[in-house]
């Protein structure tokens, strides 16, 4: 599956209805984004079971603001609706491929338990 252009109306549904979603926050005027785009696209084709979304920060300013995007490109990943990764800067192709593999291996029961433990400490 090729990359999906995500906008605010379909954002929440995309995150909720797919097990693993990887997002690329980018802009047309951004040189590093233009270099990262083809890498992101190539890796997306290797993982048809993963949703690779692209969010244009100029067009989707509310989404960019929601995540506090300060530099682009920024890669963010959600697994089972929970944010599990965020990194500004373009990732090398091998690093992006490794990231997808590692994200698939994350035990989400452990992640949810960690979140619960953290929330109970904050109360």
Query: Which residue among the candidates 20, 21, 22, 33 is catalytic per the annotation?
Result: 33
Q: What is the pLDDT along the chain (123 residues), one digit of tens a residue?
A: 568 899 988 999 999 999 999 999 999 999 999 999 999 999 999 999 999 999 999 999 999 999 999 999 999 999 999 999 999 999 999 999 999 999 999 999 998 999 888 888 877
Judge if pTM exceeds 0.85: yes
The number of distinct structural domains making up the chain is 1
At residue 6, φ and ψ (nearest 5 deg) are -100, 140
Its domain, for residue 88, covers 4-122
CATH number for the domain spanning 41: value is: 3.40.30.10
Query: Helical H runs in the chain?
Result: 8-17, 31-46, 61-66, 93-105, 108-122
Answer left, alpha or beta for residue 78, where phi above 0 means left and psi between -120 and 50 means alpha: beta
Query: Which residue among the candidates 30, 69, 76, 96 is catalytic per the annotation?
Result: 30
Whether 55 is a known active-site residue: answer: no
23 beta partners: 53, 76
Whether 95 is a known active-site residue: answer: no
């Amino acid at each position: 599956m090729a990359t999906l252009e995500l906008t605010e109306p379909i954002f929440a549904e995309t995150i909720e209805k797919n097990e693993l979603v990887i997002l690329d926050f980018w802009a047309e005027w951004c040189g590093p984004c233009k270099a990262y785009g083809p890498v992101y696209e190539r890796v997306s084709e290797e993982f048809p079971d993963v949703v690779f979304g692209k969010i244009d920060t100029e067009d989707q300013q509310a989404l960019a603001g929601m995540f506090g995007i300060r530099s682009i490109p920024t890669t963010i990943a959600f697994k089972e609706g929970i944010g599990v990764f965020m990194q500004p800067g373009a990732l090398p192709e091998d690093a992006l491929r490794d990231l997808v593999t590692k994200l698939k291996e994350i035990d989400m029961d452990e992640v949810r338990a960690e979140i619960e433990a953290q929330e109970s400490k904050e109360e």
